């Protein structure tokens, strides 16, 4: 008996010293003991909770929750006794005496010996752990949302190059759920085997080589990584890094891939546009100089022919010079049509009417081997184009298609009204708006990418000696000078499709105000005095020529200071000033002019909008500013409009 008491005493001391809350209750539902940790944790002592009936409503004031706790506790206790197995712990939220809540993991055990018939209840305080878990859950949820919100593809592969994690963008690109992708290789997940393993002949490096480099510890960057997404080859800017453990060992590869397809298209569009602009300037300069030389050659040849009357052989030589010169003139004419930027004989036109008139000529040119189909909708919008150049361009395109179908085939010309939005114009050198679309399609041999890259360049041809290489450059020149754009899509043995966009006539009138022929003025437009201020003498003289031509009195100044001096002794109705000048800019001049002569109307002109002039300027002057280079019509119209305004 003394040994039992000694053991019980030791047990009592252990329980009392434990930081874990303990409670004893007997079979009559009395709580017989609470250790100090219990009283400290929950605030209740035996006076507060002498029985379990006192404990339930205080620890679990919510009736439904209290009933759930009692039911769960009883079931687990009965199961433990019946099966002679440990009590299954249960997580509980207990309300303390001070009203705060504590989360515990509750366990129980039946005692023997001196404490026979008593149950020991152990309540592990897991409140701090729960807080950490909740914070961790919040962090993981936040990270999950961030990873899945980005349009970039994020993925992780293990050392066997099997996907073990990916975000929604990666999942959507594969067309499978994230769970379906896990523990599979790229090929098993549906990526093109050639893109995965590479193809040296086609210059494809392959995903796997970058993966292996990352596994070897390298930081791999591939700015032109092709991937077949939804049946379309997209280009990705991909980074792959070794995924390391805390002790710096590599477990796999982490990859981030950004879709740069549209960016690449825009860059290519810009590059192509810059190249064609440069070619146009070069070609125009060469053609201009060449024409001057041709004029000298043909002129002197004609003089020489007038002197040689009886020498038939010499006359024949001169005839050959003339013939060669005429062919050269035709060549330079084609070059100039490529380089020219503005139409000279453009007029309001119906493309469907032009195609109807040209159909017979096109059919005879194409011969019976080519089946020609022309499709036009009703109420096709009008355009503002050079009709002869349009007909020549369509003929050039049809001849190219005929050569691409040596054994015959189908050629279709379709027109339609189309409205381009911002997103549509990303791959075109056009502004959003209304356009007439002309599409020429054939089922010929098509072209490879290397040919498409040079198709509009002068003298580039795939026909050898049979071609001049100027047909497509003429088409390009026509489209560009009529404010349109052209797009060619083709691949080997898949035919070719050429799409031309020409602005709707009404849209052209609204957007291209530089077309001075659309506005007419009487030469006697005004008699007022205008003060022109510009530090560039050529520009001052140009503006003076225009305004004098329309009847205005003009005085000019090379600086703002000079202009302020002139108004001291001259009556001025309107100030026309450049913005960027060395001593004082146009806005500063306008301020001083209003102080000196408030009745003077003011019009500013600028070649560009410098950031220096964006802030702290007169918003009305800024809004009504004329941008250089301006047309005659723009200047005269604005001057007259401003002078006629009432103060």
Q: What is the CATH number of the domain that holds 363?
A: 3.30.565.10
Does 226 have pLDDT greater than 60? yes
> Does 136 reside within a domain?
no
**Beta pairing partners, 246:** none
Predicted pLDDT of residue 467: 52
Domain boundary among 287, 309, 339: 339
Does 296 have pLDDT greater than 90? no
Predicted pLDDT of residue 383: 92
635 closest CA partner among 530, 560, 555, 538:
530
Q: How confident is the model at residue 514 (pLDDT cuts 50, 70, 90)?
A: very low
C-alpha span between 222 and 6 (Å, rounded): 76
Q: Do 491 and 389 fall within a single domain? A: yes
Predicted pLDDT of residue 144: 83
Q: Do 255 and 395 fall within a single domain? A: no
C-alpha span between 56 and 31 (Å, rounded): 12
> Does 448 reside within a domain?
yes
Domain boundary among 226, 259, 292: 259
Q: How confident is the model at residue 555 (pLDDT cuts 50, 70, 90)?
A: very high
Q: Do 163 and 247 fall within a single domain? A: yes
pLDDT in tens, 21-75: 999 888 888 998 999 999 999 999 999 999 988 998 999 999 999 999 988 988 8
CA-only gyration radius of the chain, Å: 44
Q: Do 71 and 13 fall within a single domain? A: yes
Predicted pLDDT of residue 138: 87
Q: Are strands 601-606 and 574-578 parallel, antiparallel or unpaired?
A: parallel
> Does 139 reside within a domain?
no
Residues ≥6 apart with Cβ < 8 Å to 322: 298, 301, 302, 305
Q: Do 386 and 506 fall within a single domain? A: yes
Please give the structure tokens belonging to residue 599.
């009745």
Q: At what angle do helices 387-403 and 471-481 cross, to 10 degrees?
A: 140
CB neighbour class for 363 (10 Å; exposed up to 12, middle 13-18, buried from 19): middle
**pLDDT, mean over the chain:** 81
Q: Who wins on pLDDT, 400 or 414?
A: 414
Q: Are strands 101-110 and 90-95 parallel, antiparallel or unpaired?
A: antiparallel
**Beta pairing partners, 135:** none
Give the Cβ contact number of residue 228 at 10 Å. Answer: 14
Q: Among 228-232, 317-321, 506-510, name the one with the lowest average pLDDT.
A: 506-510
Does 281 have pLDDT greater than 70? no
CB neighbour class for 393 (10 Å; exposed up to 12, middle 13-18, buried from 19): buried
> Does 137 reside within a domain?
no
Q: Do 285 and 326 fall within a single domain? A: yes
Please give the structure tokens belonging to residue 38.
């219990």
- Quote the domain boundaries for residue 61: 2-128
Q: Do 279 and 209 fall within a single domain? A: no
CATH number, domain at 181?
Answer: 3.30.450.20
Domain boundary among 470, 487, 511: 511
Give the three-class secondary structure for 616: coil
Handedness of CA 263, 269, 272, 273 (dihedral sign): negative
> Does 144 reside within a domain?
no
Contact 489, 496 (CB under 8 A): yes
Contact 91, 104 (CB under 8 A): yes
> Does 231 reside within a domain?
yes
CA atoms lying within 13 Å on the CB side of residue 139: 6
Distances, alpha carbon 628 to alpha carbons 520, 539, 543, in Å: 21, 10, 12
Predicted pLDDT of residue 560: 93
pLDDT in tens, 170-215: 888 888 888 898 998 888 888 888 888 888 877 778 888 889 999 9
Q: Tell me the H-state helices in 492-631.
A: 505-511, 537-549, 560-566, 586-596, 619-623
Please give the structure tokens belonging to residue 121.
């209840």
Q: At what angle do helices 471-481 and 261-307 cross, to 10 degrees?
A: 110
Q: Do 371 and 498 fall within a single domain? A: yes
pLDDT in tens, 383-399: 988 888 888 888 888 88
Q: Among 16-20, 60-64, 423-427, name the one with the lowest average pLDDT.
A: 423-427
Q: Among 129-133, 232-236, 383-387, 581-585, name the one with the lowest average pLDDT.
A: 232-236
> Does 70 reside within a domain?
yes
CA atoms lying within 13 Å on the CB side of residue 279: 21
CA 122 to centroid of chain Cα atoms = 62
CA atoms lying within 13 Å on the CB side of residue 38: 23
> Does 288 reside within a domain?
yes
C-alpha span between 236 and 257 (Å, rounded): 6
pLDDT in tens, 352-378: 999 998 888 888 888 888 899 999 998
Give the three-class secondary structure for 287: helix
Q: How confident is the model at residue 509 (pLDDT cuts 50, 70, 90)?
A: very low
C-alpha span between 239 and 218 (Å, rounded): 11
Which own/partner contact pairs does 161-164 have at CB distance under 8 Å and 24+ positions apart?
161/185, 161/186, 161/208, 161/211, 161/215, 161/253, 163/189, 164/252
Predicted pLDDT of residue 520: 44
Does 512 have pLDDT greater than 50? no
Does 140 have pLDDT greater than 70? yes
Contact 254, 218 (CB under 8 A): no
Q: Who wins on pLDDT, 326 or 523?
A: 326
Q: Among 97-106, 236-245, 507-516, name the one with the lowest average pLDDT.
A: 507-516
C-alpha span between 580 and 224 (Å, rounded): 43
Task: Specify whether the backbone of 83 is left (phi greater than 0), alpha (psi in -120 to 50) or beta.
Answer: alpha
CB neighbour class for 85 (10 Å; exposed up to 12, middle 13-18, buried from 19): exposed
300 closest CA partner among 275, 279, 325, 282:
325
Distances, alpha carbon 458 to alpha carbons 450, 467, 519, in Å: 16, 11, 35
Give the Cβ contact number of residue 516 at 10 Å. Answer: 16
Predicted pLDDT of residue 519: 39
Q: Do 270 and 252 fall within a single domain? A: no
CA 442 to centroid of chain Cα atoms = 31
Does 421 have pLDDT greater than 70? yes
Q: Do 114 and 228 fall within a single domain? A: no
Q: Who wins on pLDDT, 59 or 133?
A: 59
Predicted pLDDT of residue 611: 42
Distances, alpha carbon 169 to alpha carbons 18, 146, 166, 508, in Å: 52, 12, 8, 41
Contact 184, 176 (CB under 8 A): no
Q: Do 386 and 453 fall within a single domain? A: yes
Percent residues over pLDDT 70 in the chain: 80
Instruction: Give the total number of structural domains in the chain.
Output: 5
Q: Do 308 and 330 fall within a single domain? A: yes
Contact 154, 255 (CB under 8 A): yes
342 closest CA partner among 629, 608, 637:
629
């Amino acid at each position: 008996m003394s040994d039992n008491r000694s053991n019980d005493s030791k047990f009592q001391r252990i329980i009392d010293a434990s930081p874990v809350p303990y409670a004893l209750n007997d079979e009559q539902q009395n709580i017989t003991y609470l250790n100090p940790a219990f009283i400290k944790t929950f605030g209740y002592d035996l006076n507060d909770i002498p029985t379990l009936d006192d404990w339930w409503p205080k620890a679990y004031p919510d009736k439904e929750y209290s009933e759930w706790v009692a039911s769960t506790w009883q079931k687990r206790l009965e199961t433990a006794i019946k099966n002679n197995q440990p009590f299954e712990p249960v997580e509980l939220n207990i309300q303390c005496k001070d009203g705060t809540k504590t989360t515990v993991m509750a366990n129980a055990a039946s005692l023997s010996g001196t404490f026979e018939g008593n149950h020991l209840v152990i309540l592990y305080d897991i409140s701090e752990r729960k807080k950490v878990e909740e914070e961790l859950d919040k962090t993981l949820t936040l990270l999950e949302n961030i990873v899945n919100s980005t349009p970039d593809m994020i993925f992780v592969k293990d050392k066997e190059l099997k996907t073990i994690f990916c975000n929604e963008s990666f999942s959507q690109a594969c067309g499978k759920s994230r769970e379906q992708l896990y523990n599979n290789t790229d090929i098993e997940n549906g990526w093109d085997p050639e893109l995965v393993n590479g193809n040296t002949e086609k210059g494809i490096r392959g995903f796997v080589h970058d993966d292996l480099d990352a596994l070897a510890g390298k930081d791999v960057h591939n700015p032109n990584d092709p991937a077949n997404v939804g049946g379309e080859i997209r280009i990705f800017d991909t980074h792959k890094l070794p995924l390391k453990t805390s002790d710096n060992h590599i477990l796999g590869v982490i990859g981030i891939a950004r879709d740069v397809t549209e960016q690449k298209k825009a860059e290519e569009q810009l590059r192509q546009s810059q190249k064609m602009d440069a070619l146009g300037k070069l070609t125009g300069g060469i053609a201009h100089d060449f024409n001057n030389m041709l004029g000298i050659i043909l002129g002197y040849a004609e003089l020489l022919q007038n002197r040689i009357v009886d020498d038939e052989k010499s006359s024949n030589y001169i005839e050959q010079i003339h013939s060669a010169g005429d062919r050269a003139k035709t060549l330079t004419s084609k070059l100039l049509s490529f380089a020219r930027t503005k139409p000279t004989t453009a007029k309001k036109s119906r493309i469907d009417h032009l195609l109807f008139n040209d159909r017979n000529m096109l059919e005879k040119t194409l011969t019976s081997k080519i089946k020609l189909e022309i499709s036009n909708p009703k109420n096709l919008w009008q355009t503002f184009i050079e009709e002869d150049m349009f007909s020549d361009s369509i003929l050039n395109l049809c001849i190219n298609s005929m050569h691409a179908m040596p054994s015959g085939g189908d050629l279709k010309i379709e027109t339609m009204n189309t409205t381009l939005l911002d997103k549509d114009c990303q791959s075109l050198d056009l502004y959003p708006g209304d356009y007439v679309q002309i599409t020429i399609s054939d089922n010929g041999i098509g072209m490879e990418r290397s040919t498409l890259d040079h198709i509009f360049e002068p003298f580039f041809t795939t026909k050898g000696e049979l071609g001049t290489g100027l047909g497509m450059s003429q088409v390009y020149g026509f489209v560009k000078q009529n404010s349109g754009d052209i797009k060619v899509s083709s691949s080997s043995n898949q035919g070719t499709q050429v799409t031309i966009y020409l602005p709707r006539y009404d849209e052209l009138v609204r957007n291209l105000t530089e077309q001075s022929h659309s506005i007419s003025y009487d030469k006697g437009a005004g008699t007022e005095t205008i003060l022109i201020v510009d530090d560039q003498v050529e520009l001052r003289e140009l503006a003076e020529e225009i305004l004098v031509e329309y009847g205005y009195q003009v005085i000019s100044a090379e600086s703002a200071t000079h202009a302020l001096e002139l108004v001291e002794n001259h009556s001025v109705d309107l100030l026309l000033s450049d913005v960027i000048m060395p001593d004082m800019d146009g806005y500063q001049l306008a301020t001083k002019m209003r102080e000196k002569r408030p009745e003077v109307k003011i019009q500013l002109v600028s070649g560009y909008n410098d950031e220096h002039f964006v802030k702290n300027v007169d918003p009305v002057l800024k809004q009504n500013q004329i941008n250089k280079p301006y047309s005659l019509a723009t200047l005269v119209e604005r001057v007259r409009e401003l002078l006629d305004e009432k103060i």
